[in-house]
């Protein structure tokens, strides 16, 4: 009967089965095989590690490089996108190169930008999320016409991106694109939607004001108008009305002219003299017509005087000195300071206060409000000046517009509060979803 060869049962040998010398020889060879096996494993691991290190240190061509006309702009710009690389870090840099359409060599291209490889990401761009051209972690650079390069609409240019680390540099493929202007900026479509919403609220408020009476908060400064006009009538003294330093293109001057119409109607009814000095001839002409119409509505057209509105000068302090002289000579019983004012505000109101007149001011010039509050009896602060016309006239259009503006302000404050909470939450949790809400209220040019 044949015995099994020793090599077959080598893996499961037992020293007691074989002769003493044979077992000793096998036992002495075991450490040699273990050393050889360890050396082999070490060589393989070192080789793989070296290959990985070499692969990691080796620069790679920018992946998925794209060059195209910048969307939603007025032209003269190109946008470059490419995927993030494995070596993106502050030690590695990217270069953006631009040249003419016929350039076939990198040497013919001009470097227009160079920046660290961990910057210039899509998520850092100003565009909204609905106009993004790549993933948030991709690189994006916009080449604009300027000192570095001059881009012309309709002209084709060659663009590429190079990756640098130390002395090593690798250049991506040469791509071509032409800048062109766009008809519509989709980044601002949110502004269009918000404008339509706000307009709808205003029109709804106007329709509501025509059906029902709208409550308006009491404005003490306007309640005092009748008191001031009545006091001037009792004393037989004139009323001085100023429309501010700006012309009719300024909203505060328009509001001052509207309030003048209400004051003129009261003075016509009480047959009280009205003085309106001006710094701008156009404003004077408009106020003359407003005053004339007020006297007609009061049924006293014969009492209207063309020279009740008169032009003095456009110079700031010459006008101030002239009005101060009128205050000291005419001794008006009531002074109205409506509109926008500058350094002349305190000079005018101090002189008026020294004559003992009732003084009512209204301005949107926040830098002059402290002086008006100190020296005047009543002050319309900021937007109260614009609400004064609706408060005095009670016309549905003006009341509805005022109500619609207040609703719009409440919506804006709510959005600001929600936006602060979402922005804080996004920073704390490193989440991207809050930005989808914040972008809808972003004004991107």
Identify whether 365 is part of a domain.
Answer: yes
Same domain, 404 and 390: no
Instruction: Count structural domains, the chain.
Output: 3
Instruction: Pick the closest to residue 308 from 337, 334, 278, 279 (CA basis).
Output: 278
Same domain, 297 and 345: yes
DSSP conformation letters of 161-207: EEEEETTEEEE---EEE-----S--GGGHHHHHHHHHHHHHHHHHHH
Residue 177: strand pairing partners: 157
Identify whether 249 is part of a domain.
Answer: yes
CATH of the domain at 85: 2.60.40.10
Same domain, 387 and 408: no
**Token pair belonging to 97:** 């190169």
Considering 177, 198, 228, which residue would you say is the last residue of a domain? 177
pLDDT at 32 (0 to 100): 57
Instruction: Pick the closest to residue 111 from 157, 168, 159 (CA basis).
Output: 159
**Token pair belonging to 163:** 């990756």
Identify whether 162 is part of a domain.
Answer: yes
Identify whether 170 is part of a domain.
Answer: yes
Same domain, 384 and 406: no
DSSP conformation letters of 75-133: SSEEEEEEPPPTT-STTSEEEEEEEETT--SGGGSEEEEEEETT--BGGGSSS-GGG--
Same domain, 253 and 354: yes
Considering 126, 160, 177, which residue would you say is the last residue of a domain? 177
Identify whether 33 is part of a domain.
Answer: no
Same domain, 241 and 350: yes
Same domain, 323 and 366: yes
Range of the domain at 346: 220-394
pLDDT at 38 (0 to 100): 62
Identify whether 54 is part of a domain.
Answer: no
Q: Where are the beta strands (DSSP E) in 332-418?
A: 334-338, 358-363, 378-381
Same domain, 347 and 390: yes
pLDDT tens string for the chain (445 positions)?
Answer: 434 444 433 334 344 444 454 445 444 545 555 656 666 665 555 554 444 333 445 778 899 999 999 998 889 999 999 999 888 888 899 999 999 988 888 888 999 999 999 899 998 887 788 888 888 889 999 999 887 788 999 999 999 999 998 888 999 999 999 999 999 988 888 889 999 999 999 999 999 999 988 888 878 777 788 889 999 999 999 999 999 999 999 989 999 999 999 999 999 999 999 999 999 999 999 999 999 999 999 999 999 999 999 999 999 999 999 999 999 999 999 999 999 999 999 999 999 999 999 999 999 999 999 999 999 999 999 888 888 878 877 888 888 988 998 999 999 999 999 989 998 998 898 887 888 888 888 776 6
State phi, psi for 195 to the nearest 5 degrees.
-65, -40
Same domain, 162 and 204: no
pLDDT at 6 (0 to 100): 45
pLDDT at 313 (0 to 100): 95
Same domain, 241 and 377: yes
Identify whether 196 is part of a domain.
Answer: yes
| 387 touches 219 (CB < 8 A) | yes
Strand-pair category, 157-165 with 175-177:
antiparallel
Residue 358: how many CA atoms within 13 Å on its side-chain side? 20
- CA-CA distance, 387 to 337, in Å (whole number)? 16
Same domain, 265 and 367: yes
Identify whether 334 is part of a domain.
Answer: yes
Same domain, 267 and 339: yes
């Amino acid at each position: 009967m044949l015995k099994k060869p020793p090599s077959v049962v080598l893996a499961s040998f037992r020293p007691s089965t074989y002769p003493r010398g044979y077992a000793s020889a096998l036992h002495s060879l075991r450490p040699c095989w273990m050393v050889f096996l360890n050396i082999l494993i070490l060589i393989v691991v070192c080789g793989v590690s070296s290959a990985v290190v070499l692969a990691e240190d080796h620069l790679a061509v920018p992946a998925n490089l794209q060059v195209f006309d910048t969307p939603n702009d007025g032209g003269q710009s190109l946008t470059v996108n490419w995927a993030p690389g494995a070596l993106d870090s502050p030690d590695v840099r990217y270069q953006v190169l631009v040249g003419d359409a016929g350039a076939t060599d990198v040497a013919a291209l001009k470097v227009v930008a160079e920046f660290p490889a961990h910057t210039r990401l899509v998520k850092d761009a100003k565009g909204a999320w609905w106009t993004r051209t790549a993933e948030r972690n991709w690189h994006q650079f916009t080449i604009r016409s300027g000192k570095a390069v001059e881009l012309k609409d309709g002209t084709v240019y060659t663009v590429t991106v190079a990756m640098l680390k130390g002395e090593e540099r690798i250049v991506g493929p040469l791509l071509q694109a032409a800048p062109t202007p766009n008809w519509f900026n989709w980044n601002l479509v949110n502004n269009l939607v918000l404008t339509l919403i706000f307009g709808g609220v205003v029109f709804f408020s106007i329709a509501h004001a025509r059906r029902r009476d709208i409550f308006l908060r009491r404005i003490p400064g306007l309640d005092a108008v009748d008191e001031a006009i009545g006091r001037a009538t009792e004393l037989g003294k004139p009323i001085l009305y100023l429309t501010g330093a700006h012309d009719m293109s300024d909203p505060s001057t328009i509001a001052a002219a509207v309030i003048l119409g209400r004051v003129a109607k009261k003075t016509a009814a009480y047959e009280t003299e009205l003085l309106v000095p001006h710094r701008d001839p156009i404003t004077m002409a408009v106020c003359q017509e407003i005053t004339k119409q007020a006297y007609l509505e009061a049924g006293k057209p014969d009492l209207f005087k063309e020279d009740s509105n008169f032009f003095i000068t456009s110079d700031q302090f010459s006008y101030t000195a002239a009005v101060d002289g009128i205050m000291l000579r005419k001794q008006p019983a009531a002074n109205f300071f409506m509109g926008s004012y500058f350094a002349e505000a305190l000079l005018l109101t101090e002189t008026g206060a020294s004559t003992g007149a009732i003084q009512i001011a209204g301005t949107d010039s926040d830098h002059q409000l402290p002086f008006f509050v100190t020296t005047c009896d009543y002050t319309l602060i900021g937007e109260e000046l614009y609400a004064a016309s609706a408060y005095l006239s009670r016309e549905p259009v003006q009341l509805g517009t005022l109500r619609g503006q207040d609703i719009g302000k409440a919506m804006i404050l709510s959005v600001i509060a929600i936006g602060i909470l979402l922005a804080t939450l996004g920073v704390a949790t490193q989440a991207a979803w809050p930005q989808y809400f914040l972008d809808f209220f972003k004004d991107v040019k």
